C-alpha cells in the first residue's frame, strides 16, 4: 500500500470535521489538495482497500431506531430470501451464519415503528419468522487500526 494511502486511512479514522468543506480540511491536515484526497479515496474504494467512507450517526438520538434481527432461511432458497431481505432500505448489512438462525441482519429505521413494519414485511415476503434482538445496553469502543 502506498504510504500516502496509509496516512489518509490513519488520519481519517479520527473523523472528518463538521464544516462546509470537510474533505478540504482533511486534505489540508494531510498536506494535499482536496481533489487529490477525493481521488485517492475513490481509488481505495474501487480497489477494495476501503469498503466505506462516511459518517456514523447515532440514529436513536435523532429519533430513529435500529436492531439486530435473525431468521432461518432454508438452504435451498437462501439466496432468494437474502435478496428479499436486502431489498429493504432498512437493512444495513446481512450475514450468513452456521446456526439454526442462519441469516442475521441489522435494521435501521427513522422511527421505532419502522423496525416493526420492516420485520412484518420481511416475514410476509419470505415466509420466515424474524427474531428481533434489540440492544439492552450500549457500549462505545473506539477502535482505530493503524495501517
d(CA 122, CA 81): 9
d(CA 69, CA 120): 12
pLDDT computed for residue 79 by the predictor = 96
pLDDT computed for residue 135 by the predictor = 86
pLDDT computed for residue 5 by the predictor = 94
- Grid coordinates given for 41: 479515496
Please say whether the beta carbons of 137 and 70 come within 8 A. Answer: no
Positions in the chain short of pLDDT 70: none
d(CA 44, CA 87): 26
Please say whether the beta carbons of 34 and 15 come within 8 A. Answer: no
pLDDT computed for residue 80 by the predictor = 97
pLDDT computed for residue 1 by the predictor = 80
pLDDT computed for residue 140 by the predictor = 76
Domains and CATH numbers, the chain: 3-46 (no CATH), 59-133 (3.30.70.920)
pLDDT computed for residue 96 by the predictor = 93
pLDDT computed for residue 85 by the predictor = 97
Amino acid at each position: 500500500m502506498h504510504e500516502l494511502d496509509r496516512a489518509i486511512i490513519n488520519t481519517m479514522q479520527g473523523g472528518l470535521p463538521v464544516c462546509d468543506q470537510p474533505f478540504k480540511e482533511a486534505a489540508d491536515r494531510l498536506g494535499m489538495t482536496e481533489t487529490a484526497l477525493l481521488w485517492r479515496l475513490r481509488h481505495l474504494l474501487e480497489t477494495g482497500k476501503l469498503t466505506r467512507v462516511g459518517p456514523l450517526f447515532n440514529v436513536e438520538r435523532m429519533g430513529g431506531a435500529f436492531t439486530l434481527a435473525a431468521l432461518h432461511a432454508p438452504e435451498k432458497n437462501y439466496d432468494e430470501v437474502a435478496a428479499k431481505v436486502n431489498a429493504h432500505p432498512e437493512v444495513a448489512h446481512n450475514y450468513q451464519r452456521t446456526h439454526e438462525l442462519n441469516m442475521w441482519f441489522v435494521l435501521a429505521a427513522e422511527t421505532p415503528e419502522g423496525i416493526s413494519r420492516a420485520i412484518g414485511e420481511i416475514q410476509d415476503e419470505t415466509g420466515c419468522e424474524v427474531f428481533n434482538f434489540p440492544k439492552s445496553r450500549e457500549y462505545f469502543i473506539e477502535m482505530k487500526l493503524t495501517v
